[in-house]
A and B are shown apart, each in its own frame.
Chain A
Amino acid sequence: GENVEQHPSTLSVQEGDSAVIKCTYSDSASNYFPWYKQELGKRPQLIIDIRSNVGEKKDQRIAVTLNKTAKHFSLHITETQPEDSAVYFCAANNDYKLSFGAGTTVTVRA
């Protein structure tokens, strides 16, 4: 089955700086890569996604890149704000089944 690894497990950044989270996947058949943000006690919320036929996608301060050859994808958050503090999960979709990374706890210091 698919195995998704996510790094780092924790990330502390100064407000206004950038944050980068990296994930690797194992199954070359995976074709869709969403990122979810989960605040304490709340549901995972889809913040951005990328499909296997696209190399990069951007939505305001958030961007995702995908390298199919290397089987890795990354989340970039620019100009971080306190409300960006949360746990972020990457996932890989294979046959409509999501496999998640272990999560990255992002803390934005004011």
Chain B
Amino acid sequence: DAGVTQSPTHLIKTRGQQVTLRCSPKSGHDTVSWYQQALGQGPQFIFQYYEEEERQRGNFPDRFSGHQFPNYSSELNVNALLLGDSALYLCASRVQGSTEAFFGQGTRLTVV
């Protein structure tokens, strides 16, 4: 079992551009959440997907959007990138109804 996998591991984008990050959940998991972790801070909840729908959303602007595919994998899209979007983006997966979440290794996004 490969666990939760994310791609790419590192990414550099220019302010104003758009980015797509990808996540494959742990085998048997059907719910995916995305978190933003700024340097020196704890992860902040962005949103959660289950059955291909956004179920919950944190305090992030509409520039942040996502998608879940039938195989439970997920994408995070960020439009009109700002310098402040530079962070480690973490994906976490779990089984619906279970509280135990497993994290991927993250995608380090740098906006210049």
Q: Residues of A with Cβ closer than 8 Å to B?
A: 1, 4, 6, 31-32, 34, 36, 42-46, 49, 51, 89, 91, 93, 95-103
Contact = CB atoms under 8 A, between A and B. Distances in A.
Instruction: Give the secondary structure class of A's interface.
Output: strand
Contact of B45 (A36, A46, A49, A98): A98
Contacts of A46: 100-102
B42 A93 contact: no
Contacts of B33: 97-98
Nearest to B106: A43
A95 B42 contact: no
- Bin the interface of chain B by size: 20 to 34
B41 A103 contact: yes
A89 B45 CA distance: 14
Contacts of B105: 42-43
Given A43-B90, A97-B45, 11 more contacts: A1-B59, A6-B42, A34-B99, A43-B103, A49-B100, A96-B56, A97-B33, A97-B58, A98-B45, A100-B44, A102-B42
